Amino acid sequence: MYEVRVEASFAAAHFLRHYKGKCERLHGHNYRVRAWARGERLDEGGMLLDFGELKGALRKVLEGLDHGLLNDRPEFKDDPSAERIAEYVYRSMAALLPAAPLAAVDVYETDTSMARYSPETAPHD
């Protein structure tokens, strides 16, 4: 099995409406996002997926989040948690790269706190 990963970052503000504690107040993060692709087969050039293609899609998705108030986006339902951000980034990248073997997206709010979304572990809609 082969895996590739790219990383990019964005800065944004948010608050968690349904959280009791300091995170219910407006605050910001310098988010770090990692996108993973996974597959068993390499192309004729010996690559699972071109890093540039994967990173380009990740950057395009994050451009729409950068320096914004995440609560203003309906995708996050007033609670833009790291988990919801990871799912949003995954689904947005999958739409941009429908043939890519996208496996997971990790969203780091801090160096020690991250959430991952992957379709294998996601509950069914």
Catalytic positions: 23, 67, 109
- Give the distance from CA 57 to its chain's centroid: 11
The Cα–Cα gap between 15 and 37 comes to 30
Residue 116 · residue 38 · CB < 8 Å:
no
Residue 90 · residue 104 · CB < 8 Å:
yes
The Cα–Cα gap between 22 and 59 comes to 30
